[in-house]
Amino acid sequence: MSLLVVGTLAYDTIETPAGKADDVLGGAATYFSVAASYFGSVRLVGVIGNDFLAEDRALLEERGIDLGGLTIGDGPSFRWSGSYLDDLNVAETKATHLNVLDGYMPTVPDKFRDSNVVFLANSPPALQSHVLDQVSDNAFAVMDTMNLWIETARDDLLALLQRVNMLFCNDLEALAISGEDSLIAAGRKLLEMGPDTVLLKKGEHGAFLFHREFFYAIPAYPIERVVDPTGAGDSFAGGVVGYLASVGEITESQMRRAMLYGSVIASFNVEDFSLGRLRSLAREEIDARYNEMLRFTAHP
Amino acid sequence: MSLLVVGTLAYDTIETPAGKADDVLGGAATYFSVAASYFGSVRLVGVIGNDFLAEDRALLEERGIDLGGLTIGDGPSFRWSGSYLDDLNVAETKATHLNVLDGYMPTVPDKFRDSNVVFLANSPPALQSHVLDQVSDNAFAVMDTMNLWIETARDDLLALLQRVNMLFCNDLEALAISGEDSLIAAGRKLLEMGPDTVLLKKGEHGAFLFHREFFYAIPAYPIERVVDPTGAGDSFAGGVVGYLASVGEITESQMRRAMLYGSVIASFNVEDFSLGRLRSLAREEIDARYNEMLRFTAHP
């Protein structure tokens, strides 16, 4: 199935206990599309600035990502600066410069409108809805979000939830959207708010999958030393959705496999800054960790 | 195999978002022994005050717990008061009154000294060592601890670690003992400090089992509404160690099963204050949740 992602490409400045990286390639759509590219082709829609490096564009093209929906804005690329010095699980935003992202409304090129699976990376829900308006009603729609929109665009977000098949969110977002105070109650409540499937990301504690018909829980792939958690959620989603888009039918078994692949891809992502580790994985490395995940969670 | 537990019996006063309970039965050895009693007989060593209620003694006896090692001190029972109003995962201690616990050093009755499995519930490590001195060198020794001893009796704790087969600890304790800053690194480091097996308790996020030869991770049984987390760690340990004591040989498969049983028993425990839920479980209830755990974590 063809997979479309719409979201940000960015230059990030990041500080973690392992070090600092200045103005490195980032953005939700970047992490998602590179992660998903290990399972099949990816179509990308987003905006970059006129300072976007040729080598970063080449990195995406080498991963087979179709950049036919990339707009080059008049000005510098979106920039985000954050720190994980206090807590590796929570990014503290130091600065956000929207730059070319300011006022951007994505146009899905005609040749991308038949995409079977659409991932709406974190963006204002009105923008995400605008993307859904441009693709087939039959597309399998997946969305991510963030606390900012839960607080400032709640009505738009609730309307969008009714239109998507699958929601990715972290623990705090799940509690904030649902108004519940336990993750389990939140996951079940979110299923009543629209999506058939809710993927609750818990960082180093793994992930839950809530579906109308089943519940699935996995640990994170055990990493001794996290270098940079930036993009962990987006690369997890890229692994999950990329794998699902590569199979003929989205069944319970395939969703369970997808969760494990997502966890594996995210585990590589956090082992280096930016796309350092994620940009050049061998299929054997992915399969080896997938099989380790099976052993780590094997039944007695 | 015969199972001995040495630890506290207490009266707790607890405040949680779900309500308040005053002077209710608690204590690490209480939770552990009632949890373990669902898998086989339990021998208990500890001290109670002269105010210990006949009905609480009867509760333990009805669970088949051998109270032959119970000392009745001259004064009131140990009391602990705590609040989970800020965070259900972390108890904020409001008051601790040692009472009869002050200066208590446990004596293991002769008839308990042949125990095959010994659980040293959270106590000063010197006291825990004193217990090990009184049982067979061949006993399978399991210990729990807390941050207070890591900070105030580190040398005793490190010496004790060399003598035990299995360690239970939570995430903060694992980091504090090992000096590492990631749970995975901490678990591996702890294996170098003595025990063959480390059980890392992560509350609502499940548990990790680190063993010299394998790694195993499980989620917590999903509970929508936690009423009182007190005793969750001890009832988890009771389920794990009680199950292991009930099998002929402690193999990898049995340890994996034990983890699932521990998670199930702890899930019942947190559904009510004190021993409200844990005191009268039906075997069918336990098996039903065990089978649910298998489904929640089933491989694709």
Q: What is the pLDDT of residues A24-38, one digit of tens each?
A: 999 999 999 999 999
Would you state the pLDDT for residue B97? 97
CB contact under 8 A, A300 and B260: yes
Question: Does residue B86 carry a pLDDT above 90?
Answer: no
Is the pLDDT assigned to residue A10 strictly greater than 90?
A: yes
ipTM of the shown complex: 0.88
CA A51/CA A31 separation, integer angstroms: 19
Find the helix or strand (DSSP H, E) in which B62 lies: helix B54-62
pLDDT of residue B81: 97
- Name every chain B residue with its beta carbon within 8 A of the beta carbon of A256: 298-300
Task: Report residue A94: phi and psi, to 5°.
Answer: -95, -35
Split at pLDDT 50, 70, 90, the class of B88 is confident
Q: Which of A281, A278, A270, A275 is nearest to A222 (CA)?
A: A270
Rounded mean pLDDT of B53-58? Answer: 98
pLDDT, residue B299, reads: 86
pLDDT at A88 over 90: no
In chain B, which residues have their Cβ closer than 8 Å to the Cβ of A205? 202, 205-206
Say which CATH architecture domain A3-296 belongs to. Answer: 3-Layer(aba) Sandwich (3.40)
Confidence of residue B265 (pLDDT cuts 50, 70, 90): very high
| Model pLDDT for residues A157-210, shown as the tens digit of each residue | 999 999 999 999 999 999 999 999 899 999 999 999 999 999 999 999 999 999
* DSSP H or E stretch at residue B24: strand B19-26
User: What's the pLDDT at A221?
Assistant: 95
* Dihedral of the alpha carbons of A290, A292, A294, A298, in degrees to the nearest 10: -170
Cα–Cα distance between B136 and A127 in angstroms, integer? 69
Query: Residue B42: enclosing H or E segment and its boundaries?
Result: strand B42-48
Q: Least CB-CB distance to A256: which of B214, B222, B300?
A: B300
In angstroms, the separation between the Cα of residue A201 and the nearest Cα of chain B is 12
Give me the amino acid identity at A174. Answer: A
* Closest CB to A182 among B181, B217, B225: B225
Chain A to chain B, count of Cβ pairs less than 8 Å apart?
Answer: 89
In this structure, what token pair is assigned to residue B197?
């097996």
For residue range A121-169, list pLDDT tens digits in order: 999 999 999 999 999 999 999 999 999 999 999 999 999 999 999 999 9
Measure CB to CB from residue B222 to each of A184, A218, A254 and give the nearest one.
A184
E strands along chain A, which residues?
A: 3-6, 10-16, 19-26, 42-48, 65-72, 79-83, 92-97, 117-120, 140-143, 166-170, 197-201, 207-211, 215-218
A260 touches chain B (CB under 8 A): yes
Cα separation, A92 vs B184, in Å, equals 24
Smallest Cβ–Cβ distance between A225 and the set B185, B253, B300 belongs to B185
Q: Please, which residues bridge with residue A6 across strands?
A: A45, A120
Q: Are B181 and A205 in contact (CB < 8 Å)?
A: no
pTM above 0.90, yes or no: yes
DSSP string, B183-220: HHHHHHHHHTTS-SEEEEE-GGG-EEEEESS-EEEEPP
Q: Do B223 and A184 touch (CB under 8 A)?
A: yes
Domain ranges of chain A: 3-296
* Interface membership of B260 toward A (CB under 8 Å): yes
Q: How many CA atoms lie within 13 A of B98 on its CB side?
A: 6
Nearest by CB to A224, from B185, B223, B298: name it. Answer: B185
Q: Any CB–CB contact under 8 A between A298 and chain B?
A: yes
pLDDT band at B13 (very low <50, low <70, confident <90, very high): very high
| A93 reaches B (C-beta below 8 A) | no
Cβ pair B17:A223 closer than 8 A: no
Amino acid at B49: G
Give the pLDDT of residue A159: 98
